[in-house]
């Protein structure tokens, strides 16, 4: 493939744009409206071997276009499912079960939490798509050194708290399903390291990434299927009118201290800090595949690393290591990636969380639990399993335990991915995912073992709820840079210079010697064959003695930062999160009963 080399001035780096034949010129000219979701040649040519005119002979019909969009949408399924895992881990189970003491009234809090979480995930995806870097790498590149390091510490604490929730939930599932002691179940949770070791290849081919996503997706769909079965089981005893009214605001949410506490816990369990890192990182595999197909990006052989005993230090941050997506890749994939993210969060995350609360609210509406004291405030994962088994059937209890096991296993896997992104991005330290997983798991498993030995089941349930509150408290510190970065025009701009030009035959044209004006550019392009030799001589001369003036062609950028409405919404969401957590801290410091 041939290239145009564009040098605007000595201050700007070389940008390479491929020249295609005339039939595909529109895909690189930038003439399409990048903000539209309409089909254009850029998206039409994404994985073109699968989308042929033979398959869809009537492309003018609306039905054919809808089918084509759906076919392409399927190719983008994966990142949203990976992120949705963060919204249905054992911590969500615990928070929703605790919320069942209000029966269905906290469904409104759950809905609002998911809406705010979805908004933040869209910002995270947008950051990863437009910059080609995840949240951690952007923090290191654009924030002061000490601020970046502080955010890194908060992020690692969030990973440890999240991992504790995965350990506890998985251990409880092992105890219910196989009768393993809680201590043995806690120790057995380290086996997911093998899955990460064998399957995860973040920098591998797209097909390998998709296989890994499919494996995690199977666990996600298994969890969804389990709760569909549970909803069918509890349907005869569920007041669905009360369920739908639960999605409306209730004064008990705002006037009851415990209701506010549980609302904060729901927010922490839904919008988890590590999911923002995950959402900004998993979107890039398809972007790279798009650019690699067109020769716009060649992956580096290897990152520059200084080897250590357990980890490697990534040296420098050179352009050869960084991936910068082209405008074509953004235009051709952004709408699909964000749409897949939103659909996954609605159909998987919101559904599972609402199903947990509905099932728990229906089962726990009866004044009984597994030890017969009828104390709904101490309801936990064991309690819900007992009630489902005793009031419905043993199969219902088993299905619940299977859902808990699936969520714990896939949750632990994505925590490893996010943890790796956090370490590499914030502090430029690379570690094999398996080693990082072992270290993270040791940090998280130690307090879990101590709690199991000293306090048993009740202690585990308390710790599980506490982890969600900790995550909620850490959330403002990690979400603030996300809002800031996506509002910054200098960070969210995308280079489009050289993409708008006249039709070309595919020859290598040195534009260093071409004038900035459109008329002269078109004239030189039309006469390039007979003047090729003189142009190259002129180029060589100008490279030795650059003559820059005010008319030199300057790089053109498309501003992809948040518009005013999105920026205001982002600030409001962040303020709500911060104020809620500030109130929670004050309440706990004053000794109020918020547990």
Where are the domains positioned within the chain? 79-295+323-494
Cα-to-chain-centroid distance, residue 75: 17
Q: What average pLDDT does this structure show over 418-432?
A: 83
* β strands within 219-361, DSSP E: 305-307, 312-314
Give the pLDDT band (50/70/90) at residue 237: confident
Q: What is the CA radius of gyration of the chain?
A: 27
Domain covering 79-295+323-494 in this structure, CATH number: 1.20.1740.10
Q: What does the block give as tokens for 579?
A: 């104020």
pLDDT at position 33, please? 41
pLDDT recorded at residue 485: 95
Model pLDDT, residue 235: 85
CB 144 within 8 A of CB 133: no
In this prediction, residue 202 has a pLDDT band, given cuts at 50, 70 and 90, of low
pLDDT above 80 for 281: yes
In whole angstroms, how far apart are CA 430 and each of 131, 196, 299, 423?
21, 16, 18, 7
Query: Which of 64-78, 102-116, 315-329, 406-420: highest mean pLDDT?
Result: 102-116
Phi, psi angles (nearest 5°) of residue 317: -145, 50
Confidence (pLDDT) at 292: 81
* C-alpha–C-alpha distance, residues 333 and 283, integer Å: 10
pTM: 0.74
Residue 538 pLDDT class (50, 70, 90 cuts): very low
Q: Give the residue among 116, 342, 341, 113 at the shortest CA–CA distance from 247.
A: 113
Task: Judge residue 360's burial from the number of C-beta atoms within 10 Å of its C-beta, 0-12 exposed, 13-18 middle, 19 or more buried.
Answer: buried
Whether residue 49 has pLDDT greater than 50 = no
Lookup: tokens for 427: 């502090």
Query: What is the C-alpha to C-alpha distance for residues 519 and 368, in angstroms, rounded to an integer?
Result: 83
Average pLDDT, the chain: 73
* Cβ-Cβ contacts under 8 Å for 308 (sequence gap 6 or more): none
The region of weakest confidence among 56-65, 240-249, 378-387, 555-564 is 56-65
pLDDT at 119: 93
Per-residue confidence at 303, pLDDT binned at 50, 70, 90?
low
Q: Give me the residue label for tokens 């904060």.
A: 264
Whether pLDDT at 384 is above 90 = no
Q: Is the pLDDT of residue 296 over 70?
A: yes
List the helix and strand counts (H, then E) for the chain.
25, 7
Conformational region of residue 553, where left means phi above 0, alpha means psi within -120 to 50, and beta covers everything else: beta
Confidence (pLDDT) at 162: 87
Grade residue 540 by pLDDT with cuts at 50, 70 and 90: very low
Do 294 and 94 form a contact (C-beta atoms < 8 A)? no
């Amino acid at each position: 493939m041939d290239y145009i080399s564009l040098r605007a001035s000595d201050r700007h780096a070389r940008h390479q744009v491929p020249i295609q034949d005339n039939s595909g010129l529109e895909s690189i000219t930038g003439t399409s409206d990048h903000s539209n979701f309409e089909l254009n040649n850029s998206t039409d040519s994404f994985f073109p071997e699968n989308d042929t005119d033979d398959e869809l002979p009537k492309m003018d019909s609306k039905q054919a276009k809808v089918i084509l969009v759906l076919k392409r949408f399927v190719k983008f399924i994966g990142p949203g499912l990976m992120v949705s895992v963060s919204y249905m881990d054992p911590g969500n189970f615990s928070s929703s079960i605790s919320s069942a003491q209000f029966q269905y009234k906290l469904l409104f809090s759950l809905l609002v939490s998911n809406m705010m979480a979805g908004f933040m995930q869209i910002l995270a995806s947008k950051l990863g798509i437009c910059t080609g870097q995840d949240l951690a790498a952007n923090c290191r590149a654009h924030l002061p050194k000490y601020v970046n390091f502080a955010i890194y510490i908060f992020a690692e604490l969030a990973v440890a708290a999240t991992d504790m929730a995965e350990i506890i939930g998985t251990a409880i599932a092992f105890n219910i399903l196989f009768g393993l002691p809680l201590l043995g179940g806690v120790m057995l949770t380290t086996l997911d390291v093998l899955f990460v070791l064998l399957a995860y290849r973040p920098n591998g081919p797209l097909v390998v990434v998709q296989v890994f996503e499919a494996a995690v997706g199977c666990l996600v769909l298994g969890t969804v299927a389990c709760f569909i079965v549970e909803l069918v089981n509890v349907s005869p005893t569920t007041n669905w009118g009360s369920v739908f009214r639960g999605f409306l605001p209730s004064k008990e949410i705002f006037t009851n201290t415990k209701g506010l506490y549980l609302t904060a816990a729901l927010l922490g369990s839904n919008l988890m800090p590590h999911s923002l890192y995950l959402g900004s990182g998993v979107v890039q595999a398809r972007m790279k595949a798009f650019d690699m197909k067109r020769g716009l990006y060649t992956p580096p052989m290897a990152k520059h690393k200084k080897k250590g005993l357990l980890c490697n230090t990534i040296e420098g941050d050179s352009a050869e290591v960084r991936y910068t997506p082209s405008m074509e890749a953004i235009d051709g994939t952004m709408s699909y990636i964000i749409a897949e993210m939103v659909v996954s969060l609605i159909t998987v995350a919101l559904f599972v969380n609402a199903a947990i609360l509905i099932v728990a609210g229906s089962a726990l509406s009866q004044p009984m639990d597994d030890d017969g004291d009828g104390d709904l405030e101490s309801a936990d994962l064991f309690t819900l399993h007992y009630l489902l088994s005793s009031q419905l059937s043993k199969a219902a209890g088993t299905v619940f335990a299977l859902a808990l096991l699936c969520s714990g296993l896939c949750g632990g896997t994505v925590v490893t991915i996010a943890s790796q992104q956090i370490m590499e991005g914030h502090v430029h330290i690379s570690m094999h995912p398996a080693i990082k997983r072992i270290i993270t798991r040791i940090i998280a498993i130690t307090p879990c073992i101590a709690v199991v030995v000293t306090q048993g089941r009740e202690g585990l349930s308390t710790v599980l709820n506490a982890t969600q509150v900790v995550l909620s408290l850490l959330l403002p510190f990690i979400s603030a840079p996300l809002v800031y970065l996506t509002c910054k025009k200098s960070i969210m701009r995308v280079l489009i210079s050289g993409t708008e030009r006249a039709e070309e035959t595919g020859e290598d044209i040195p534009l260093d010697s071409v004038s900035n004006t459109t008329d002269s550019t078109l004239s030189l392009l039309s006469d390039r064959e007979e003047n090729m030799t003189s142009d190259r001589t002129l180029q060589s001369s100008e490279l030795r003695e650059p003559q820059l003036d005010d008319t030199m062609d300057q790089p053109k950028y498309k501003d992809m930062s948040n518009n005013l409405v999105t920026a205001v919404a982002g600030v409001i969401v962040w303020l709500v999160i911060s104020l809620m957590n500030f109130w929670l801290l004050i309440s706990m410091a004053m000794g109020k009963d918020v547990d």
